[in-house]
Every structure is written in C-alpha cells, then in structure tokens.
Amino acid sequence: MTDNAVGLIPAPRRIRTRPDRTGARLDPSLTALAAGPGTEGVARLLRATLGQALALSLPDGEPGARDTITLRTDPALKPEGYRLTVAGRRVEVVGGAAAGVLWGVQTLRQLLGPEAFRRAPVKSADTTWAIAEQTVEDAPRFAWRGLMLDVARHFMPKDGVFAYIDLLAAHKLNVLHLHLTDDQGWRIEIRRYPRLTGTGGWRERTKLGHRASPLWDERPHGGYYTQDDIREIVAYAAERHITVVPEIDIPGHAQAAIAAYPELGNADVIDTASLGVWTTWGINPNVLSPTDTTLRFFENVLEEVLELFPGTFVHLGGDECPKEQWKASPAAQERIRALGLADEDALQSWFIRHFGRWLGERGRRLIGWDEILDGGAGSADGGLAPGSAVASWRGYAGGLAAARAGHDVVICPEQQVYFDHRQDPGTDEPVPIGYVRTLEDVYRFDPVPPDFTASEAERVLGAQANVWTEVLEDRRRVDYQTFPRLAAFAEVVWSPLPPPSTRDFAEFNGRMEAHYARLDALGVSYRPPAGPRPWQRRPGVLGRPLEGSPPIV
C-alpha cells in the first residue's frame, strides 16, 4: 500500500503510481472536461465540487485530449468499479456505470489534497494542481455500504441530511437509512394522516442524557420532512448514487403514532388517548395493536412512502416490541386464537409477514431488525415473506439465522458499529453510552465472520453503521460520534481487506492524517485523536457505559 502516498481512504484495490512524475496538472485557464454518454450527472457534480473548490471552470472538451478530464463508462467493468488513469497531461475516469465514474471522481478529489474538499478556493486564482502519474483500479467489496441516521429521537434538519449525503459520497458509501419514526417523534409528512406530524412530530421536553439522568431539556423539540423535502433528499442522494432506505418502525417504537391516532394502540389495555409523544428513552411498552385498523392504517402510510422512495428496500423496524400489552389485550389474544398462532412472538411474526407480502406484491422488499425472526424460529423460512432481508444488530446471530433461512442480510452489530457508543474509555467522552469502540476496533470489524460458510456469506449484502441519537442533540454531536469512525467503516466495506487480526491499523492510521485534513476542509466536527475539545464535552450529563461499569437501572 506504499503507493497510496496521498492517503486514499478507502484504500483502492490496486494503485500503481510514479510519485516522481507529474501525470497531469489541473489548470484553471486550461483544463477541460469531456463527459461521455451517461456521465453527465457526474460531470455536473464534478464541476460543483472540484470546480468550485479549485476555481476550475472546466469547459467542455474533447474526450482523451490533453489537459482534459475524460469521463466515460465501459460495461466491461463492474457497475461500481472504476479505473482512474493520470498520465501524459490527461486524466481519465472510466466506470462500469455512472456510479463507478462517481467513485473514481471521489478518488481524484482525494488525490488533489484537502483544498479539493472546500466549497470555494483558498489559494490564488492562478494556482495549478499537480497529480502524480498513476493508475488506480478499484471496485467495492460490498453492494450495501450504509449509514443509518436516527432522525426521530433528535430531528436532523434537511441541510444536515444533505451534508451527510455528501459525506457518504466522499467515502464511497451508498446507502442512507433514515430512521424516520419512533416513540419520541414522527418525522415524515403523510398526507392522509396529518396528525402523525402535527401531533407526533414534536415533544414537550426531552430527557437530557441516559434515562436515569435527573436532567431535562425543557425546550420543545420537533420537526419533520415534508413530502417535497423527502423528494429533494431522495433526488440529491440519487445524483450521488446513494439509495435512501426509509424506516417506519412497527409494531414497537410507535408511541408518537399512537399519540397522534390513539386507535392504533392497545386501547383495551391502557388509555391510549392519554399518551403523548414520549419524552424519555428506553424500550417502550406502548406498542401497536395487531388489529385490522392498524394494518390498514400502515398500508395507507406505506402507499405514500412507496411513492416517495423508489428504492427496493423499505425498513419496517420490528425491534424491541414488548409483548405485555398483547398478553393483556383481549383483542390481541383473540387474533392469536383466530390465526392459530402459538404466542405473542408468533403474532409479531404474522404482523411483519403481512407487510413483507404487501411490499412484495408491490415489487419491493421488506428489511427489518433481527427480532423479525424471533417468532418464526420453527419454520424453514424464519417466518418471513419471500424476499425479506434482516439487519443483524444483536451481534451476528440474527444474520446467520436469516442467511440459513434463505434471506439476505445487512450486518450492523451493536457490539461493533453503533456509533452512538463511546469511542474511548476516558471520562471526558460526552454522555458515554455503550461499549468502547475505537477507530481501531471499527477498522477490525468484519462484516462476514469466519463461521459463515461460503453460501451464508453470499447472503451478506453488506454492512451498515448505525447512529442512534438519544444523546446526540444536534449535527455536531452526530459528527463527533460518527467521525473519524465512519472512515474506518468505509474502508471495511469497500476495500478487499485481510482478516481482521492481520489488518495493518498503523498503516491506516497513517493515512488518517491526510483524511483529518479532508474532514477539516469539509467542516466535520470529528473526535480528534487526542480526545474531545472542551466544547465537545458534556460534563455532568449521565451516560450509560457498558463493560465493567456499575449498571444504571
């Protein structure tokens, strides 16, 4: 990897470079851009990023000419693969499809130094930009390279979402999973049910820190994306070859919906009309009732979701659904009897299977957290509708079970890639939650552990880092938890790495020096290697560290 002198992250598959020879020089007065068929969108982005940052006007040029950046596709390459050649005063980026061309352009951007990540030039207008002679050949290891943002617990206004889409693209990540609904807020406009956002889109106050903390932020918190906001986000992501996967979490994590429409809750057990949007954290007993009313309501919600999100997968949550209310509910018990089900877990399985089939009939696929397998353990298909996929978060076991039952898997274990978890054992980590997972730990994360057989491994679509936001109140806190670890994650899911135990973290960490400069240029409030800056700390706000700490109950 010594050829990777500029510190490319994620590391490419192959790079041959002649650092002693300038292969090309980008020159504001000279350099042109030739975009072949199908690469016009990438050319637009290149002008908007590199062009703005380096004061290059990039007029249209002739393909393959000197002092020209040529973009083209070649179906002989994999769709997301690319070859970048810098030689003889020419730059050429060839991708299997437009996505590959875009990833190649991201590599070109890194070759140009941190200034290429700014929004406007910081050097004089006649500065030229030398790139060493080289060839980079590259393609991703996994098709699903994702980040989940929990925009429900703390709403992220759309400018932050656009910034994250840009950050994903800069790291060659291609899935943005938006956790849009939870007990503490409903964040997507549904025309048919305006109270979902009118009532469910905000809460009166917010627990500050872990739920055992005595502190409250007494300010109301809220916000939601209108349907046009969602269209804008989806289109912005699509230009960057990123798929947005929406999550509507059912049948648990649904108190905001019940607060808006009390008939969705177990009204024969509790007074659902008295529920508000939840103001604290934890696993909530107030879950949806498994009635026809609820099924029809969420079918109607999903009709609108499908109009907005063109991607194949729709995430329906399915995690952490306590069964106490269903045990106490005559309506739920009658449903169990009528369907001939074994118990409440089987009822949840039936509920999820209903929507898995419903999505399948519309050409889409359900994905859910690994609890969606819990009630179907006795059946060969795990109780899931055909085509359903599982996001394995409670370790790898759910992923393995799903793969064995013939389902695709996205690996995202909380023990490894939950970025709300603290990244250092030090006492000045802000609101420390969960396990200590350092940059090195993430670099050693393996989406496909050795106990997966080859055919089980084929079921692994990829991996995803998840950022839950109970204690991340704004974009800067999200940045702090997400970076620099997302850079290590990007390399894990993109690059052909050796087994975790033999990975050269020191070499990666050396490249991070260049990457911190890129993140600085991008304005990311990452955690510095030496620890949080004073304003990144949250003294006195209780977290919930795991591993060896006394439990907080």
CA angle 168, 169, 175 (to 5 degrees): 55
177 is catalytic: no
With respect to ligand ACM, which residue has the nearer C-beta, 351 or 508? 351
Residues 149, 159: Cα–Cα separation, whole Å: 14
With respect to ligand ACM, which residue has the nearer C-beta, 298 or 369? 369
With respect to ligand ACM, which residue has the nearer C-beta, 113 or 252? 252
Minimum Å gap between C-beta 379 and ligand ACM is 23
Residues 150, 183: Cα–Cα separation, whole Å: 12
Which among 228, 281, 276, 229 has a CA at the least distance from the CA of 255?
276
Give 462's Cβ-side CA count (13 Å radius). 21
Which among 86, 119, 64 has a CA at the least distance from the CA of 18?
86
Minimum Å gap between C-beta 472 and ligand ACM is 14
With respect to ligand ACM, which residue has the nearer C-beta, 155 or 393? 393
Residues 149, 142: Cα–Cα separation, whole Å: 20
Q: Which of 27, 232, 320, 446 binds ligand ACM (CB under 6 A)?
A: 320
Catalytic residue among 320, 424, 440, 473: 320
Closest residue to ligand ACM, based on beta-carbon distance? 319
- Quick note: the x/- pattern for ligand ACM over 339-378, rule CB under 6 A, is ------------------------------x---------
Residues 30, 58: Cα–Cα separation, whole Å: 8
Minimum Å gap between C-beta 284 and ligand ACM is 11
Q: Which of 393, 480, 489, 526 binds ligand ACM (CB under 6 A)?
A: 393
Residues 254, 256: Cα–Cα separation, whole Å: 6
Which among 115, 85, 232, 105 has a CA at the least distance from the CA of 169?
105
Minimum Å gap between C-beta 255 and ligand ACM is 15
253 is catalytic: yes
Residues 251, 236: Cα–Cα separation, whole Å: 30
Catalytic residue among 3, 182, 370, 479: 182
With respect to ligand ACM, which residue has the nearer C-beta, 150 or 166? 150
Give the residue ranges of DSSP H helices in 76-219. 98-111, 158-170, 195-198
Minimum Å gap between C-beta 461 and ligand ACM is 17
With respect to ligand ACM, which residue has the nearer C-beta, 80 or 414? 414
210 is catalytic: no
Site for ligand ACM in 438-497 (CB under 6 A): none
Q: Are 152 and 182 in contact (CB under 8 A)?
A: yes
Residues 327, 7: Cα–Cα separation, whole Å: 56
435 binds ligand ACM (CB under 6 A): no
Minimum Å gap between C-beta 132 and ligand ACM is 44
Q: Which of 304, 319, 440, 520 binds ligand ACM (CB under 6 A)?
A: 319
The count of residues in the chain is 553
CA angle 171, 174, 179 (to 5 degrees): 110
With respect to ligand ACM, which residue has the nearer C-beta, 138 or 408? 408
Regarding beta strands 32-35 and 68-73, do their DSSP bridges make them parallel or antiparallel, or are they unpaired?
parallel
Q: How many residues make contact with ligand ACM (CB under 6 A)? A: 4
Minimum Å gap between C-beta 196 and ligand ACM is 21
Catalytic residue among 241, 253, 407, 421: 253
- CA pseudo-torsion sign 462, 314, 103, 418: negative
Residues that bind ligand ACM (CB under 6 A): 319-320, 369, 393
- Indicate which residues carry an active-site annotation: 182, 253, 320
